Amino acid sequence: MSDLDERCASLRAQITATEAQLTGLKRELASAQEAAAAKSNSAELSDNQQVQSKSASRWPLLQEEYKRYGRQMIVSQVGLEGQLKLRAAKVLLVGAGGLGCPAAQYLAGAGVGTLGLIDGDTVEVSNLHRQVLHRSHNVGKYKVDSAIESLRELNPHPTYIAHRTHLTPSEAPRIFAQYDFILDCTDNPATRYLISDTAVLLGKPLVSASALRTDGQLMVLNNPPRPPGDKQGGPCYRCVFPKPPPADSVVSCADGGILGPVVGTMGVLQALEAIKVITAGAGNGEAQNTGTGAQQSPLLHMFSAYSNPLFRTIRIRSRRTNCAVCSAEATVTLDTITSGSTDYVFFCGSALPPSLLAPDERISAREYNEKYPGSDHGSQGSSASPSHTMIDVRDKVQFGICSLGDSINIPISNILASTSTGETPSWVPAGLAASESNDPIYVVCRLGNDSQLAVQRLKELGLDRGGQRYIGDIRGGLRAWREQVDPEWPEY
């Protein structure tokens, strides 16, 4: 047995070393590809300039561009002047996912001259229902490469720049400096603050959007862009949200779910707001809502797919006098960002999943399956094993998608809403509360996070009878069940 343990340890060490080497190789490849793309884009830009110079003596746009953009150029707020502003604009989209795909699609279609996309993720099957630039045959490919492939087919005129990496504080200023306008198409608080801080300090207007489940929100920030301390500048993300949400309250699309058209709506609106800012003052239309700056109040647009009306708009405050970035008392600078002194992960809280239970309060999916081999795990509604109780704390919708056959559903929201008042909560099954049995209780969720909270609350309510009854969770949740026990278990 010791030989097997040593062999396993050796293999794990080799895997760790190989993964580290692979990570380094991927980083080198990304750098090389970025350099090659920059060279290619430079050559492409030179070719385009040569083509345009041939007709520059008479018409500022190519004949094909007049045909392509004609329907938007005859809109009074755009005109030829606005189209030329779009062609001269350099826009960076941070994120090539649910928000970035539709935003990039409409910006490319509108004729923005240079579009940069930064994202270190690769395309997954679960992305395809909402990330509309990606295709099934591009699963496993860098998202930025997949997106640019589709964008080139849509419009070959713009220059596309791929940044195959996750945005980091050390690289953000260097990358942002290459562009005029930023779109925040990300989905986590730490990156949002980094994007906003960098945009303010470099004088770049920013459109920030988010979407989750059936809701979304949108803001145009740092517009007009002014140096820190200038009260005429637009507010930044910290002005609107000076404190980040609690780390354990942040829900991702993977956990909370998302409707494709919801995130698509917000991405399209991001493109619209960017076009409005870029073309401000062009054409013969009425005064623009953005771009002229101080006389316009900043707004927060909120979208809810199942509400009536669908949209609500509220005014948000101007720059805070004590903002850490855009006020006269600013403490965040480009140096503090690039040096790491401004720690975004610490500011927003740890993104790591919680580890709330002791090792002896947790059991692996494989160990549970071996301990109770007689339980019917294949279908919902079978009779529970008499030797234990399995509680599934996912919501009813997820429980309806798939569930262990011997489990009962008690949503985590119900469990956390109860308090230790001495009375047994109504959600506790009558048989479980009244029984004098000390048969163990196991808790399972999707990923093994909510189940830990549920175990703690069950013990606080006294269901462990002072330690006489075992209460623990399935480590890693139903995802671990799929990996360790049943490979045919639905992955969603």
Residues 210-239 have pLDDT tens digits of 999 999 999 999 999 999 999 999 999 999
Give the pLDDT confidence of 389-402 residue by residue, as tens digits.
999 999 999 999 99
Q: What domains can you pick out in the chain, each with its CATH number?
A: 63-281+296-348 (3.40.50.720), 359-485 (3.40.250.10)
Average pLDDT, the chain: 87
Q: Please say if the pLDDT value at position 21 is more than 90.
A: no
What gap in Å lies between CA 369 and CA 465, rounded to an integer?
25
User: Which value, in Å, is the radius of gyration of the alpha carbons in the chain?
Assistant: 27
pLDDT of 36 over the 80 cut? no
For the stretch 452-473, pLDDT in tens is 999 999 998 888 888 899 999 9
User: Residue 293: what pLDDT?
Assistant: 38
User: Per the annotation, where are the binding residues?
Assistant: 98, 119, 126-130, 143, 187-188, 236, 239, 323, 326
At residue 302, the 3 state secondary structure works out as strand
Per-residue pLDDT band for 49 (boundaries 50, 70, 90) equals low
- Predicted local confidence at residue 87, as pLDDT: 97
pLDDT higher than 50, residue 55? no
For residue 223, which of 197, 204, 195 has the smallest C-alpha distance?
204
What is the rounded CA–CA span in Å between residue 82 and residue 90? Answer: 14
Question: pLDDT band at 429, cuts 50/70/90?
Answer: confident
| CB-based contact 242:331 (threshold 8 Å) | no
Higher pLDDT, 279 or 39: 279
Longest dimension (CA), the chain: 93
Residues 6+ apart with CB under 8 A from 366: 484, 485
The pLDDT, as a whole number, for residue 48 is 54
Distance in angstroms (rounded) separating the CA atoms of residues 343 and 197: 12
Q: Judge whether residue 44 has pLDDT over 80.
A: no
Q: How far apart are CA 202 and CA 224, in angstroms?
A: 12
Hey, what's the torsion of the CAs at 334, 275, 226, 166, to 10 degrees?
A: -10
pLDDT value of position 290: 42
Residue 18 CA from chain centroid, whole number:
29
Q: Does 253 score more than 70 pLDDT?
A: yes
Q: Which of 222, 270, 251, 256 is nearest to 99 (CA)?
A: 270
Lateral strand order in the sheet of 441-444: 362-364, 471-475, 441-444, 389-392, 407-409
**Do residues 473 and 443 touch, judged by C-beta distance below 8 A?**
yes
Q: Report the range of poorest mean pLDDT among 266-275, 379-388, 419-428, 463-472.
A: 379-388
**Residue 20: pLDDT over 80:** no
- 216, 303 contact by CB (below 8 A): yes
CB 216 within 8 A of CB 209: yes
Higher-pLDDT residue of 29 and 241 is: 241
Range scoring the smallest mean pLDDT among 124-128, 292-296, 456-460: 292-296
**Strand ranges for 13-123 from DSSP E:** 90-94, 114-118
- Which residues of 73-180 form beta strands (DSSP E)? 90-94, 114-118, 159-163
Looking at the predicted structure, is the pLDDT value of residue 372 above 70? Answer: yes
Contact 448, 474 (CB under 8 A): yes
Question: And the tokens for 480?
Answer: 């671990």
Q: Which residue did the predictor score with more confidence, 429 or 319?
A: 319
One-character DSSP codes across 277-295: HHTTT-SSSSPPSSSS-TT
State yes or no: pLDDT of 105 exceeds 90: yes
Coil/strand/helix, residue 424: coil
Catalytic positions: 253, 445
Q: What percent of the chain has pLDDT over 70?
A: 82
139-155 pLDDT, tens per residue?
999 999 999 999 999 99
Strand-pair partners of 210:
217
C-alpha to C-alpha distance for 377 and 397, rounded to whole angstroms? 19
d(CA 269, CA 271): 5
Choose the most confident range, by mean pLDDT, from 157-166, 375-384, 406-415.
Answer: 157-166
357 burial via Cβ count (<10 Å: 0-12, 13-18, 19+): buried
Q: How many residues does the chain have?
A: 492
Predicted pLDDT at 92: 98
Q: What does DSSP assign to residue 213?
A: B
Annotated binding site for Zn(2+): 236, 239, 323, 326
Of the given ranges (18-27, 174-183, 298-307, 425-434), which has the lowest mean pLDDT?
Answer: 18-27
Cα–Cα nearest to 278, from 89, 117, 102: 89
CB atoms within 10 A of CB 334: 17
Closest by CA position to 84, among listed 102, 65, 71, 67: 65
pLDDT higher for 267 or 352?
267
Greater model confidence, 130 or 421: 130
| Under 8 Å between Cβ of 305 and 215 | yes
| pLDDT (average), residues 8-21 | 70
pLDDT at 384 over 60: no
Please spell the DSSP secondary structure of 35-56, one letter per residue.
HHHHHHHHHHHHHHHHHHHHHT
Closest CA to 267 of 171, 147, 123, 163: 147
> Where does 123-241 show beta strands of DSSP type E?
159-163, 181-184, 206-212, 215-221
With cut-offs at 50, 70 and 90, classify the pLDDT of residue 382: very low
State the DSSP H helix or E strand holding residue 193, giving kind and residue range, or none if neither.
helix 189-202
CB 322 within 8 A of CB 329: yes
